[in-house]
Structure 1
Amino acid sequence: MSSSIKIIPFGGVRENGKNMYAVQVDEDIYILDCGLKYPENELLGIDIVIPDFSYLSEHKDQIVGVFLTHGHADAIGALPYFLKEFDVPVFGSKLTIELAKITISGETELKSYDQFHIVNESKEIDFDSVVVSFFKTTHTIPESLGVVLKTDQGQIVYTGDFKFDQTVANGYATDYGRLAEIGRGKVIALLSDSSNAENPQAKSNEVAVGDSIWETINYHDGRIIVAAVASNILRIQQVINAAAKSHRKIVLTGHDLEKIVNTALKLNRLHLPEKDLIVPMNQLAKLKPEETILLETGKMGEPIKSLQKMASRKSGQMSIHDNDLVYIVTTPSHAMETTVAKTKDMVYRAGAEVKSISDDVNSAGHATKDDLQLMMNLIHPEYLIPIQGEYRLLAAHAELAKEVGIDSNHIFITSKGDVLEYKNNEMSLAAGIEVGNTMIDGIGVGDIGNIVLRDRKILSEDGIFVAVITIDRKHKKIITDPKITSKGFVYLKTSTDLINVSSEIVKNTVQTNLDQKEFDWGHLKQDVRDKLGKYLFEQTKRRPVILPVIMEVNQHHKKSSKKKATDNG
């Protein structure tokens, strides 16, 4: 009897980052990548977003393991949260596993976790119903791998992040022969990177990118601050090479960056042309501006917001100075475009110059249109599942597939929680599952939902309006007139009429509730919110967060009283 096969995206579709896909073969579940994404502007205060593991929690005994394609945050960033809940093995290349260990190193609960397994393009792992193997891909980090799941019905191929480039060094090169070998077998489905699917530009090869970095660094006569993603090892190597040729020293600004660089150096995945090329932060003051490169990656490898902090500082070595060059060698996602523009403006205001690598070369680390079509022609999939990108990118990938002869009925643009089922030699959309987002805010995991985000958005736009009043519920009377305060809504000193009317509305609403036979705290507070909210909107066309605070006083004797505050939520 043939195996039952299902493919379920938990992230990475119709969004940037957060790659995680489950392939279920009979009762076994194989997890492909376990990444995070950085929040967009409307997710106020949220640090990162990870996949929703709820469905997997109900099927935790069926999870075989996690198979990682590379060491970027969009592929490994959610591992600390995943491994706290699921005690399963993790497979990846040597560098990927070392970076995964760094990712979970701050979690006390995972100190004893020891189920990391190193694999390479020659490794095959037999899980009875599935044989898992790997193939080398080209990306901006060494030892990137694609994953193949071979079943009795055929193969499922997951590319991870990839591109094709004939000029890359050893450790980054694609194994075209292996891809052709996979394609000679039956490939049921290809899950393929769509991140660059609509880019009309031909990409620059990495030799040209390296030359551009060298020219930019060589021809600036002041200090240079290079903004890069910490785990973009290829780009960091190009900066190192340019620093050596221009007789500059590199200062690493972040602890995360130091750990990643030291790990790559230890594994010979980064190479220093000169022994003392990287100097510690405490030596920065001794360097002349023209011999200095500050390598800035920011928290968890996100450099753009760190540049804002540097630009806003008024003094110190870690502030941006006159005649500095801020050189952005990362290519931020479309969701970060507004942030990047704001950052550049702040840098110019600080007296420095800004340049992006994308001004001179198309340095994308993801497959172009031609690359995507070449991958399809090498693999010959029966079905294409575009992944890793917003909807327009998935749709662009689908159009490219049609151009190389894949029938539109064999292309699935999925959403999180869709279930693709393959049986009787056909793939179809089965009943889906509920998959949301899990938002991380500080130490809180998943405790921030849409209601909290809505309140944060309202607070950021319309402010807060607080009404405090004291009552004697036993005698059904108001003890003190309402005290009105406001933050971010109106300026109280110039809004006397508004405040006076609001005070009367609160008094009348509270007294009406006190006079009723059945008194209910929840109804009272909601009644105040409703009536006050209606009036404030009529007067200002704004909807602040209204916070009624009802204080109760119990008067037992004429000379003594006892107050208590109700829940002011």
Structure 2
Amino acid sequence: MAQDIKVMILGGVRENGKNMYAVQVDDEIFILDAGLKYPDTQLLGIDYVIPDLSFIEDNADKIMGVFLTHGHADAIGALPYFITKYDIPVFGSKLTIELAKIAVRNSQKNANFSDFHEIDQDTAIDFKNATVSFFDTTHNIPQTLGVAIKTDAGQIVYTGDFKFDQSANKGYKTNYSRIMEIGKEGVLALLSDSSNAEMPHEGANEKEIGDYIIETLKDHPGRVIVSAVASNIARIQQVLNAAYLSNRKVILTGQDVAKIVKTAMNLDLLHIPDEELIIPATKINEYDKEDILVLETGRMGEPLKSLQRMAMQQHKLVNITDGDLIFITTTPSHAMETTVAKTSDLIYRAGGVVKEISREIHASGHASRYELQMMINLLNPQYLFPIQGEYRLLAAHKEAAEETGMAASNIIIAKKGDVYQYEKGEFQLTEGIASEDTMIDGAGIGDIGNIVLRDRKILADDGMFIAVVTIDRKKKKIVAQPKVMTRGFVYIKENKELIYESIELTKEAIDTNLQTKKFDWSELKQDVRHSLEKYLFQKTKRRPVVLPVIMEVNQNRHRRNANKPQGNKPQQKKK
């Protein structure tokens, strides 16, 4: 009897980040990566976005494990939000597991979770219905792996983030022979990285990038502040090498960098050229500026925020002054380009100079169009699922695959929540699964929905308008003159007529309710809100959040009088 094989898309398509996919073989489910994405500017106040976890909840007893390709947040960031609750084992390379442990243990709820399993490309895990094996790939973090799930119908291969780089160092090298071996065994479906599919040719290799960083540091006579993502270990290694060769001491700042650097060093995956290269931040004033390199790291977006604080003279350790070179060594996503531009403007105002590696050299950890075609030719899959990228990137990947000879009908551009079942020799779209984004805001998980985000956007765009009124419901009158407050809408002292009319409209709406309607709190507030919203839009063409605050007096006294025992009044005695 043929196996029941399904490919399920939990995240990572038609978006940047949040990679999470599932392959089901009969009654066993294999989760491929569990990542997060950083919010764009429309998701006001949101810290992270993770996939909908209801699929995990509904199928926890069938899940054999989470198989991680590498240690970046787009692959491991969602782990802390479900693994302890459902006790699901986690598999990954040694470095990936160590970084996953850091991510998980940062959450106090998961501090005792220990079901981690280290694997490498020589590992093959036999389950009841499938065998899971791995192959080394090249990315900008060491020990990155691809995953192959062997079924009766052929292998389902997930590349994770990858590129081909013939000059890659130990720990970063792709195992081409292993990939060819998987291709010879037969590949049913390939889930392949599309993040750089629009780039027609190979980008700069890591040796070229390293040489460029060395030249940049040697050519600048003053202090250098380097911005990088903490988990981009290849870039951090290149910066440390360049600092050593340009006779600069390094100061590490930013979140996560100390843990990540220490972990990579312990695993012999990050090398400090000189034990005295890194100095404490407290010693920054003991050296001349031209002898210092400040390495500012963090998660995506955090280094840029730190640079902004430096430019505004608000950083606790380093502030930008005349002659400083700010070297941004991470290629920003499209969502971050506006932030980069704003940061650069602030730096120039402070007297610094900005250099972005992305403007001088194409530095990417993801496969170009040519490299994607090479992966297809090595594996020769029957079906291709372009993943990891916005729709235009998935479409570019499809076009590249067609150029290799793949039939367009065998290239599937899926969307989140799609489930494709393999039956009668082809993948067919079946009933989907829940795929809504889960918002992480502080300690809240999934408690921020579209209504809350809509309100935040309105508050950000048009502010709020608050009307405070005290009424006596029994006497059916307003006790005190309404008071009006605004935040982010208008300046009260310069809009006296607007405020006066708003007060009059508030009084009118309340009087109408008290005199002509059966009293209802919700109707009263709604009438006030509607009246003010209509008037304020007519006058300003803006729609602030209108909050009527209506208080009542004498309600407690009325209740006490109602409960007082009735009887004869005491009579006054005559003298």
TM-score range, shorter chain: over 0.9
Distance 1:328 1:139 in 2: 19
Q: Displacement of 1:284 after TM fit?
A: 2.0
What does the per-residue CA deviation read over 1:465-501, in whole Å, with 9 as the maximum and x for residues that have no partner?
0001111112222111211111111121222221122
Alpha-carbon distance change, 300 to 193 in structure 1, aligned in 2, over 3 angstroms: closer
Distance 2:224 2:304 in 1: 15
Q: Displacement of 1:439 after TM fit?
A: 1.1
Distance 1:541 1:557 in 2: 44
1:504 aligns with 2:504: yes
Match of 1:165 in 2: 165
Partner SS for 2:354: strand
Distance 1:302 1:70 in 2: 21
Partner SS for 1:278: coil
Match of 2:356 in 1: 356
Q: Indicate if the aligned counterparts of 2:254 and 2:303 stay in contact, CA closer than 8 A.
A: no
Match of 1:182 in 2: 182
Question: Matches of residues 400-439 of structure 1 in structure 2 within 5 Å?
Answer: 400-439=400-439
Q: Displacement of 1:85 after TM fit?
A: 2.7
Q: Displacement of 1:463 after TM fit?
A: 0.7
Distance 2:328 2:149 in 1: 38
Match of 2:68 in 1: 68
Partner SS for 1:149: strand
Q: Displacement of 1:299 after TM fit?
A: 5.0
Alpha-carbon distance change, 367 to 556 in structure 1, aligned in 2, over 3 angstroms: closer
Match of 2:387 in 1: 387
Q: Displacement of 1:322 after TM fit?
A: 1.4
What does the per-residue CA deviation read over 1:229-260, in whole Å, with 9 as the maximum and x for residues that have no partner?
10111111111111111111111103510110
Distance 1:465 1:162 in 2: 51
Q: Indicate if the aligned counterparts of 1:464 and 1:545 stay in contact, CA closer than 8 A.
A: yes
Partner SS for 1:13: coil
Match of 1:566 in 2: none
Q: Indicate if the aligned counterparts of 1:256 and 1:301 stay in contact, CA closer than 8 A.
A: no
Matched letter for residue 412 of structure 2: F
Distance 2:477 2:328 in 1: 65
Distance 1:55 1:316 in 2: 44
Match of 2:531 in 1: 531
Partner SS for 1:58: helix
What does the per-residue CA deviation read over 1:170-224, in whole Å, with 9 as the maximum and x for residues that have no partner?
1101011111111112211100000000124541111111100000011111111
My pick for the range that moved more, 293-302 or 347-356, is 293-302
Partner SS for 1:207: helix
Q: Displacement of 1:530 after TM fit?
A: 1.3
Match of 1:567 in 2: none
Matched letter for residue 183 of structure 1: G
Q: Indicate if the aligned counterparts of 2:33 and 2:66 stay in contact, CA closer than 8 A.
A: yes
Distance 2:434 2:99 in 1: 31
Superposed CA RMSD? 1.7
Match of 1:309 in 2: 309
Q: Indicate if the aligned counterparts of 2:23 and 2:31 stay in contact, CA closer than 8 A.
A: yes
Partner SS for 2:238: helix
Distance 1:124 1:446 in 2: 36
1:216 aligns with 2:216: yes
1:279 aligns with 2:311: no
Match of 1:236 in 2: 236
Alpha-carbon distance change, 240 to 176 in structure 1, aligned in 2, over 3 angstroms: same
1:132 aligns with 2:132: yes
Matched letter for residue 515 of structure 2: D
Match of 2:123 in 1: 123
Structure 1 runs (4+) greater than 6 angstroms displaced:
555-558
Q: Displacement of 1:434 after TM fit?
A: 2.3
Matched letter for residue 365 of structure 2: G
Distance 1:189 1:316 in 2: 51
Q: Indicate if the aligned counterparts of 1:463 and 1:545 stay in contact, CA closer than 8 A.
A: yes
Q: Indicate if the aligned counterparts of 2:64 and 2:88 stay in contact, CA closer than 8 A.
A: yes
Alpha-carbon distance change, 366 to 258 in structure 1, aligned in 2, over 3 angstroms: same
Match of 1:565 in 2: none
Query: Unaligned regions of 5+ residues in structure 1, if any?
Result: 562-569
- Structure of higher CA gyration radius: 2
Distance 1:382 1:369 in 2: 19
Match of 2:225 in 1: 225
What does the per-residue CA deviation read over 1:31-77, in whole Å, with 9 as the maximum and x for residues that have no partner?
10011111101111111111110122122111111000000111111
Q: Displacement of 1:340 after TM fit?
A: 0.7
Q: Indicate if the aligned counterparts of 1:261 and 1:270 stay in contact, CA closer than 8 A.
A: yes
Partner SS for 2:346: helix
What does the per-residue CA deviation read over 1:110-163, in whole Å, with 9 as the maximum and x for residues that have no partner?
122110000000000011101000000000000000000111121100000000
**TM-score normalized by structure 2?**
0.95
My pick for the range that moved more, 293-302 or 418-427, is 293-302
Q: Displacement of 1:283 after TM fit?
A: 2.1
Q: Displacement of 1:300 after TM fit?
A: 6.7
1:474 aligns with 2:474: yes
Q: Indicate if the aligned counterparts of 2:255 and 2:297 stay in contact, CA closer than 8 A.
A: no
Distance 1:352 1:301 in 2: 20
Partner SS for 1:279: coil
Match of 2:103 in 1: 103
Aligned length: 560
Query: Unaligned regions of 5+ residues in structure 2, if any?
Result: 562-575
Q: Displacement of 1:282 after TM fit?
A: 2.1
1:20 aligns with 2:15: no
